[in-house]
A = this chain, B = another copy of it.
């Protein structure tokens, strides 16, 4: 409602603050959460416009984004809310999630930082050729994702740079997958994510690994409602339904959703879940397989084949 109109048309940069709806969009924190944090932790502290509506300064939005990222790694809001932006970044550096970055990866990261999209893309394509698709995904893309995430929290990477990176990886991966001969083989695997999970990169990485092993992959893209996953599995005669969850996925819905899906699916269809969402580590629900990393996917595939069809 607010969030614009404040336009002064003075040609130079402006738009110094955002309404609560815009902040919800840009941070992924619900309006409810934003309001209750303000009450409980005295942060954020938005100004008010002429109509009494919240107006968030940009630096507070930046801080909210970092807090969200730290929470995705398991920290609790009450503990970190009162720190300054710089302190939060220091905390982050003390809790690295990535393995120590190899000089090779560092080279790719600098290409991203310098916005050399074309060079990045050909460097990536070259690595695919050199390592093969599977090793490329496991040894390059996965750690690179972590490194990019780190850089983002560290304040060294803008959102658009992350977008540029993600798009490049997607292009390279899709091209590589397209070269894998179309396999009529088994098992038949349906890939997708739950609603609210819009990150499709993990899906693509899984598809690359699976397709390479000769599985018949059908991707629904992201955000398929659960009843439709069930219908799609039936129509595609899927042996396995594979779900991907990014670190940002709302923890609560995850286990519930998986249980719901499991219950609606025929018993002979397996459910595989993977990704960097925290909720996946805690407990492993019954009757479904959790993949901690991409290598686990290959192992699971071997296992499935060893067990024979229809187990």
- Any B CB within 8 A of the CB of A76: no
Residues of B within 8 A of A198 (CB): 198, 223
Whether A221 contacts B4 in the complex (CB less than 8 A), given A118-B182, A196-B25, A235-B160, comes out as no
Q: Say yes or no: A115 contacts B256, CB within 8 Å.
A: no
* Complex interface bits, A181-201 against B, C-beta within 8 A gives 1, otherwise 0: 010000000001001101000
Cross-chain contact of A220 among B13, B163, B195, B236 (Cβ < 8 A): B163
Nearest opposing residue in chain B for A225, CB measure:
B26
Expressed in whole angstroms, the Cα–Cα distance for A288 and B230 within the complex equals 44
Interfacial chain B residues near A231, Cβ < 8 Å: 158, 160
Closest B residue to A8 using CB positions: B263
A292 on interface, CB distance cutoff 8 Å? no
- Which residues on the B side are within 8 Å of A1 (C-beta)? 252
Q: How far is the CA of A255 from the CA of B4 in the complex (A)?
A: 10
- Copies of this protein in the assembly total 2
Q: Does the CB pair B167–A220 fall under 8 Å?
A: yes
Q: Would you call A166 an interface residue if the criterion is a C-beta within 8 Å of the partner chain's C-beta atoms?
A: yes
Given contacts A25-B195, A175-B178, contact A260 B7 (CB under 8 A): yes
Residues of A contacting B: mostly: helix
A167 to chain B: closest residue by CB: B221
| A: interface residue count bin | 35 or more
In this assembly, does A93 line the interface, its C-beta being within 8 Å of a C-beta of chain B? no
Q: Are A4 and B259 in contact (CB under 8 A)?
A: yes
Tell me the nearest residue of chain B to A26, going by C-beta.
B225
- A164 close to chain B: CB less than 8 A: yes
Which of B5, B257, B260 sits near A256, CB closer than 8 Å? Answer: B5
A273 within 8 A of B: no
In chain B, what residue has the closest Cβ to A162? B228
- From residue A229, how far is it (CB to closest CB) to chain B in Å? 7
For the complex with contacts A14-B264, A174-B175, 20 further pairs of A-B residues with Cβ separation under 8 Å are A3-B256, A7-B260, A13-B230, A15-B263, A22-B195, A25-B196, A26-B195, A58-B227, A115-B236, A117-B236, A158-B231, A160-B229, A160-B231, A163-B220, A163-B221, A163-B224, A163-B228, A171-B178, A175-B178, A178-B178
